[in-house]
Amino acid sequence: MKTFTPEFIRAIPKTDLHLHLDGSLRLKTLIELARKAKVKLPSYTEAGLRKLVFKDTYKDLPEYLHGFMYTCSVLQDLDNLSRVSEELVEDNAAEGVRYIEVRFAPQLHVTPATSVRDVVRAVAQGLSAGAKAHNATRSVRIGKDIPFRFGLILCAMRRFKRGMSPYFADLLRLMEYAPKDDVYAAASLELVRAGVELAREGLPVVGFDLAGEEAGYPPADHWRAYKYAHDHFIRKTVHAGEAYGPESIWQAITQCHANRIGHGTFLFAHGMIKDPEIKDRQKYVEDLANYLASQRIGIEVCVTSNLQTIPSIRSISQHPVRKMIEYGLSVSICTDNRLVSNTTVSRELQLVAESARVTREELRRLVFAGFKGCFFPGTFNERRSFVEAAAARYDALERRMLPSAD
């Protein structure tokens, strides 16, 4: 087992494939935007917000989610969306991340004066500005560094309430007498249709996601939206196995055509299987894990977030990431929410490398699972060239900073 220095982890090119925009603002920016928008915060200092809202540990998921009330409140403005998106690129680029897929629920940020398309364009504009600044640096121009690239993942909600946004309030009013599941499904289908149109316009909309309360709100309820994405060459990821069992993961694959799984934390939790027809539960999860591995269906692992939101996982030693690695799964290490989880890609990789005692080759596979499994906004050959450039830089840094063999 090799000890990897923080300097090496920070220097190597990395990705973040599971990155929520509204959970990844700078605290300083949140405070500034809240003051301008007259959004009441529990504190107007970074230390105060770290103590009261954005903590290192949370007692439960509702406490973890509480902070989104404040971040979403300041993201009802297109300029603010562009600004925090640009800063997100800056923060990632500063720690060696060279590719991100930013996921967000545009319908949460719609106002009476703006549309889903306006929201997506504003986020894309900010990300483009941040990437352009990095790509104009001398180190990129002379080939000593690689460019920064990004994609957008539009995130539908498993369930929502009127107070979450004017869009959701209007939809619930229009479909007042429809079953709630039909309303939620209608919102996801409308979102993916907008995403396909924007992708045709040239925006880097590369993926579609489903987030929110998992138990009781299965991904299959949104199969029409996922089929539409599938039929129009939009890649798919699903929050699954985060708060529910292995069956949720299988449903995401078979009924939603998932190319990747968000979290997948309870992949091996055979005791959570509810289908009475599954007699050998242990074999079911083993078959599922081997299927994921053989089909290279990626798992977006967010260790710190899981420790903060899943009470049954009390320490990193209880997290299944080591088992995922041993099964040969395509595991990419992600942040989930940089602000809410107070983390970075470098921190997450360091945590996994030390706690899961990964070898040099295992670390390389973790890093390049992100590059190889990304929903790259370009051709296959362009993605291959990008991955090759990242590999060349990684190998050069490894030779220079980790000269001795395992």
Handedness of CA 135, 137, 140, 145 (dihedral sign): negative
Average pLDDT over residues 219-248: 94
pLDDT band at 241 (very low <50, low <70, confident <90, very high): confident
- For residue 388, give every residue at least 6 positions away whose Cβ sits within 8 Å of its Cβ, in sequence order, or none: none
Question: Which residue bears the tokens 């969306």?
Answer: 81
| Three-state secondary structure call for residue 298 | strand
∠ CA(225), CA(228), CA(233), 5° rounding?
125
Handedness of CA 344, 84, 155, 170 (dihedral sign): positive
**Average pLDDT over the chain, rounded to whole?**
95
Taking the alpha carbons at both ends of the chain, their separation in whole angstroms is: 7
Q: Which two tokens stand for residue 226?
A: 């996922």
State the Rg of the chain over Cα: 20
Give 342-361 as a 3 state SS string.
CCCHHHHHHHHHHHCCCCHH
Identity (one letter) of the amino acid at 254?
A: T
Compute φ and ψ for 136, nearest 5 degrees: -90, -5
Can you list the domains of the chain with their CATH numbers?
A: 6-401 (3.20.20.140)
DSSP 8-state secondary structure symbol assigned to residue 22? G
Average pLDDT over residues 104-118: 97
pLDDT tens sequence across 54-89 = 999 998 888 999 999 999 999 999 999 999 999 999
Angle formed by the axes of helices 180-201 and 116-135, to 10°? 40
28 vs 275 pLDDT, higher one: 28
Question: Which residue bears the tokens 């967010």?
Answer: 302
Evaluate if residue 190 carries a pLDDT over 80: yes
Evaluate if residue 207 carries a pLDDT over 80: yes
- Cα–Cα distance, 347 to 341 (Å, whole number): 11
213 vs 342 pLDDT, higher one: 342
Q: Which residues are catalytic?
A: 242
Evaluate if residue 215 carries a pLDDT over 90: no
